[in-house]
Structure 1
Amino acid sequence: MKTSFVSNLAVQNAMRLTIQQQQAEMLNLQKELTTGRHADVGLTLGATTSRSLNLQRELARMNSLTSTNSIVNQRLSASQEALETMASAAQKVRDTLVTFKGNDSADKLAIQKTEIDSALSLFTSAANTSFNGEFLFSGINSDVKPLADYNSAATSTAKAAFNTALSTYMAAQVPPLTSMDQFSVAQMQDFITTVVEPMYTGAQWDANWSDASNQNMTSRISTSEVVESSTNVNTTGVRMFALASVIASELMDKGVTSEVRNAIGEAAIDYVEQGITGIDAERSKLGVAEARVKKANDSLAAQIKLVTTHIGDIEGIDEEAASTRINLLKTQLETSYTLTSRIQQLSLLNFL
């Protein structure tokens, strides 16, 4: 019979290694219980790991779209509020023109001019609304204030251009017009339609009024949908409102005859009606974009739920089994600690 000797140090080291392994396993199990997925997905899933990674990338992409859609929604909502203010300003100009129609009193004409100038300033302020550091109505030129303030100074570019156009037209008549009361109805109508209107429908609009781009901002709201998420001040509605406000403010309180004043008022009402129609069209267009974003978000939410469930099926753990295993490891560790403590107390000195 052969006797083998095992030192208590060797037993201690073996026990210490066992304890370290059990502690590492317990940490992984606790991590799995917290996250609901395997601690080492690659080790557990093996060849099917690529499928899990593809689903994770798809989930991240959809979550990113949801986040950007939130910003798009906020931009569209802010644009709608600004357009509502602009529409109210246009309604105010129309109501003022209708209310004071046929009046030649200097006091009433002064009130009318004040009301129209106030509405124009309100309109301009709303058109220059910014959100998150970007101007809403600048198109893709979102870092530039889109619309000039006509009444900001007597020397504003738009005002100077109008005054030059008026004086040039008067001087070109045969015989030249030396005062506003010399305008005939036909001449005033000709001045408005052939001189002033092209200043608002043509290239002079960009030179005198607008720094906005005609190209609106676009946003991807789903894997297959892209929408225009902004508008700009180069639309017909804005141009026609500005035209109506300017001719009403600049001409109606001048010393023109009643017939000429009525012709100016009729033209201004017609232009402001076109402006209101154009602004409402932009509101409708942005409303359609809002509806599309909402539908895209609903679809993304359903897809995210489906993909999340699928990932859970692949990477998920059996929480009950993990809890049971943790309790078993705790018991084994406590036993190991007890044995280790007893082994450390073994000494020949205790038996001498």
Structure 2
Amino acid sequence: MKTSYVSNLAIQTAMRMTIQQNQMDLLKATQEQTTGRHYDVGLTLGATASRSLNLQREIDRLNSMKSTNSVVTQRLSGSQGALETMAKAAEKVRDTLVTYKGNDAASQLKIQKTEILGALQTFTAAANTSFNGEFLFSGINTDAKPLADYTATSAAKTAFDAAFTAFKTANSITSDDQITVTQMQDFIKNTVEPMFTGTGWDANWSDASSQNMTSRISASEVIESSTNANTNGFRMFAMASVITAELMDKNVTPEVRAAIGVEALQYVEQGIAGLNAERSQLGISESRVKKANTSIDAQLKLVNTHVADLEGIDPIETSTRINTLKVQLETSYTLTSRLQQMSLLNFL
């Protein structure tokens, strides 16, 4: 009878390989249970993996568009807030003109001028509102401050003073009280108004572009997502403020002062109407963005459902598989421990 060595090394090696495979399978199954999709989508889906990739790209595109729309919404909201402030400043000018109508006392005229210039400063500050480092009312010139401040040394102030001096010289007027109602109305209509409606506005007041920002909010829809300081509402408000602040306290007759007030009131009403029109237009854009986001959400829900159908796993089956693998691992550990204890030394 012949005896030979019997080694348990081969059995132990096979058991270790089994443990390693079970550990890898358990890792994959656990990840699938956490993510809700196959561990290796390409391996599982095979030829249909391209369809899954196309759907994932569509999800990325929709999410990117929704993120862009969020920025557009914030810009529109900021513009609406600034326009509301400007509209209130314009209403302040209108109320001041009505309140001080017929007052010729120097003290009252001084108070009126202070309130008008204060409203103009508030208006200018709101017009120069910025968002994310971009000016809201500069059109496509987002890095340019849209509206210049009206100060004693500003270009607009200098231009107005020069125009008023030239007007008096042309009409041989040596004292402001010599100005007639007709002459003042002519000065406002034919000299001052073109300074705000023509090239003088760009030269002395605005660095904004008349071309507004546009934004794509869906695959087939592009909207104007801003307005600019060159619109009629901005121009008319500035003009009403300037002729009130610069002319009402001049040494003119009560009749001329009343005529100035009438003209200023008409211009500020045009300014308020223009600002409200811009607010309405931006409101329409906000509504369109909201509807576009609703549509995008519906598309995302649909595409995500398709992706889940392709890449999704059966959670019950995966849970059962994980429990089975855990049992197999525990069994493997037990057997490995016993095999390692099989040694002749334990029997000597």
Q: CA deviation at 1:350?
A: 3.1
Please show how residues 1-352 of structure 1 align to structure 2 within 5 Å.
7-151=7-151, 154-173=152-171, 176-352=172-348
Give the counterpart letter for 1:327 in structure 2. Answer: N
TM-score normalised by length of structure 2: 0.97
Give the counterpart letter for 1:227 in structure 2. Answer: I
Q: CA deviation at 1:327?
A: 0.6
Greater CA drift, 313-322 or 140-149: 140-149
Q: Which runs of 5+ in 2 are unaligned?
A: none
SS at match of 2:223: strand
Give the counterpart letter for 1:45 in structure 2. Answer: L
TM-score normalised by length of structure 1: 0.96
Q: Which runs of 5+ in 1 are unaligned?
A: none
**Counterparts of 1:202 and 1:113 in 2: how far apart (Å)?**
26
**Counterparts of 2:317 and 2:43 in 1: how far apart (Å)?**
19
SS at match of 1:227: strand
Q: Describe the shift of the 1:255–1:42 C-alpha distance in structure 2 as closer, same or farther (beyond 3 A).
A: same
**Counterparts of 2:126 and 2:101 in 1: how far apart (Å)?**
27
Per-residue displacement from partner, 1:69-114 (whole Å, max 9, x unpaired)?
A: 1111111111111101101111111111112122211111111111
Per-residue displacement from partner, 1:181-206 (whole Å, max 9, x unpaired)?
A: 11111111111111111010011111
SS at match of 2:156: helix
Per-residue displacement from partner, 1:268-320 (whole Å, max 9, x unpaired)?
A: 11111110110000000000000001101111111111111111111000011
Greater CA drift, 105-114 or 310-319: 105-114
**Counterparts of 2:29 and 2:219 in 1: how far apart (Å)?**
37
Q: CA deviation at 1:132?
A: 1.7
Per-residue displacement from partner, 1:125-154 (whole Å, max 9, x unpaired)?
A: 111111222111111111221111103xx1
SS at match of 2:246: helix
Give the counterpart letter for 1:205 in structure 2. Answer: W
**Counterparts of 1:206 and 1:48 in 2: how far apart (Å)?**
60
The two structures, once aligned, show a CA RMSD in angstroms of 1.4
Q: How many residues align structurally?
A: 347
Greater CA drift, 196-205 or 125-134: 125-134
Give the counterpart letter for 2:48 in structure 1. Answer: T
Q: Describe the shift of the 1:335–1:100 C-alpha distance in structure 2 as closer, same or farther (beyond 3 A).
A: same
SS at match of 1:27: helix
Q: CA deviation at 1:3?
A: 9.9
Q: CA deviation at 1:7?
A: 2.7
**Counterparts of 2:266 and 2:22 in 1: how far apart (Å)?**
85
**Counterparts of 1:248 and 1:241 in 2: how far apart (Å)?**
11
Greater CA drift, 34-43 or 260-269: 260-269
SS at match of 1:221: strand
Which structure 1 residue ranges, 4+ long, deviate > 4 Å from structure 2? 2-6
Q: CA deviation at 1:6?
A: 5.8
Give the counterpart letter for 1:340 in structure 2. Answer: T
**Counterparts of 1:241 and 1:277 in 2: how far apart (Å)?**
10
SS at match of 1:144: coil
Q: Identity across aligned pairs (percent)?
A: 71
Q: Describe the shift of the 1:166–1:323 C-alpha distance in structure 2 as closer, same or farther (beyond 3 A).
A: same
Give the counterpart letter for 1:299 in structure 2. Answer: S
SS at match of 1:115: helix
